[in-house]
Every structure is written in structure tokens, then in C-alpha cells.
A = this chain, B = another copy of it.
Amino acid sequence: MDALASLPRPAEGRGAAALAEVLARAILSGHWQPGDLFPRELDLCQHFEASRNRVRNALGELSAAGLIERTAGRGTVVRDIVDWHLLDPQMSGWMASLDAPHPQLVEAVFAFRLAAEPYIGELAALNASGDDLARIERAFDGMQETADAASQRLAHAEHDVAFHDAIYRASHNLVWRQMGLLLRPSIVALIQRSQRHAGSSTDGHTDDAADGHARGLGDSLERHRQLLEAIRLRQPEQARRATELLLERTARDLDKTLPASGITTPAPRRV
């Protein structure tokens, strides 16, 4: 079968980046199996009406992200999901714009957050500077302003991502900081799930999913506030606890069951 035929042209932009995004989304959607041969350069040129140079640049981006492997003479093959560079920021961007990210991926990312974020919250409480705090507060204010209208859910998700990313940054560790982008796909998945729930019941009565969502959102906001407050007051213990409660709330929204206990971090040090 010609797997190429069903691929859309880049919606906007005539650059290599736009082309790369289309191809990346196709791979991330499972359009090819790992090990499958990817279309040849010339076929891509023909289908997308692009020069070989642009196609090659796009393929170069995919290769840098670990999505494909190219070898002269043999061709281009799609790599297995375990070889993808999940922590490449570009991957986060591609995944966030996806309708249905790999469940395996959402699972892995959330497991990571569950283990790491309480500790990162502690680090943030110990190390957050004034700039960090300002960034976190700005994101929180944005979440508050976009909490009411259902039409602003995407904007709300962006502020949510910014909130957590700011906390990663506040850890003041180069490695942990890099992982802040990881949660964008996770949070976007959450939003889309709640949107689907809300869309499935439109009667607007008291106990429907939409109201449940609204109530859950208020609760979530309150838990964010407590985490922010703990970081401001330099209380690592409470920041850890607040993060755990926040993740518990998120887990419920994702219909996940929590493990018996999370990670505890007695005494990280200030850097």
C-alpha cells in the first residue's frame, strides 16, 4: 500500500520545518510500523511538490529526533518507539499537536512525573529565585483567568504547561530543567480527554460531565495555588506534599489508579 497517499500537505508555511512536522505526526500516529521502509526522497518530492533539498532537510530533523534511521544505499527505515528521543524539545512540540498520542507514551510520561515531580517541587522550594516565582505566578494568574469559559481550554492548558515548566526551571538544575517540556503532551492529552467527556453529554444538567469538569478544575486550581504558596514560602516538605496532591488530582482526571505510595525525598540540598 502507498502509505504516502493519505498524507496531507503542510497546512501553512513552505519551509522544511512544516514538512518535517507533517511527517513526524504521521510517524507518531503509528502510520508506519517500526522497521518499515519510509518513502524514498524522490517519492516525497513528488507527493509534496517539494525540492529534494527541502525533503532532505525535513528528513534530517526526523533523523535527529530518532524517528527514522537513514543509511546510504539501503534507504530510510522507521525506528522503534523505544529509540525515539522523547526528550528532544521538538518532539514535545510535535506530540502536543497530535490528536491521539501513543497511550504507551502518556503512560510513561505520567509515571515519570509521579516519581520525579515531588522531588522537583522540593528543589524549587529550595532554589526558586524572584524571577522564577514571578514566572510561576504569571502562569497561575493565566490559569485563573481562563478557568471559566470552556472556549479557553486550550489557553488554560498552555498556562498549565507554563506553570509546571516554570517549576522545573526553578529547580536550577540543568538536567531537570530540560524535562519540563515533557509534560506538554501529557497535559494536552488530559485536556482532550476532558473535552471528550464534556462533549459526550450536552444536556447541561447538574451532575453531567461538564459540571464535573468545572468542579474538578476549581479543585485543581486550588491545589496549584497551594504548591505555589509552598514554593514562595521556601517550604520543601509542603511543596512535595502539594505536588503529590496535585498529581493525585491529575491521575484522577486521567482515569489512572495511583500506586500505593509516591516518592519521598527527605532532604535535598540547595544548590
Contact = CB atoms under 8 A, between A and B. Distances in A.
Nearest to A53: B53
A88 B86 contact: no
A64 interface: yes
B260 A81 contact: no
A175 B265 contact: no
Contacts of A264: 263-266
Contacts of A259: 267-269
A266 B260 CA distance: 9
Contact of A61 (B64, B112, B174): B64
Main SS of chain A's interface residues?
Answer: helix
Interface string A79-118: 0011011111110000000000000110011011001100
Contacts of A265: 115, 263-264
B81 A174 contact: yes
> What is the interface residue range for chain A against chain B?
35 or more
Interface in A53-82: 57, 60-61, 64-66, 81-82
B268 A178 contact: no
A127 to B, nearest CB: 11
A200 interface: no
A119 interface: yes
A108 B60 contact: no
A105 B86 CA distance: 21
Interface in A137-173: 173
A112 B176 contact: yes
Interface of A: 57, 60-61, 64-66, 81-82, 84-90, 104-105, 108-109, 111-112, 115-116, 119, 173-179, 182, 259-261, 263-269, 271
Given A87-B87, A87-B175, A105-B174, 10 more contacts: A60-B60, A81-B174, A86-B174, A108-B173, A109-B175, A111-B175, A112-B176, A175-B179, A175-B182, A259-B269
20 contacts: A64-B64, A86-B175, A86-B178, A87-B87, A87-B175, A104-B174, A108-B175, A109-B175, A111-B271, A112-B175, A115-B119, A115-B268, A175-B179, A175-B182, A259-B267, A259-B269, A260-B267, A261-B266, A263-B268, A264-B265
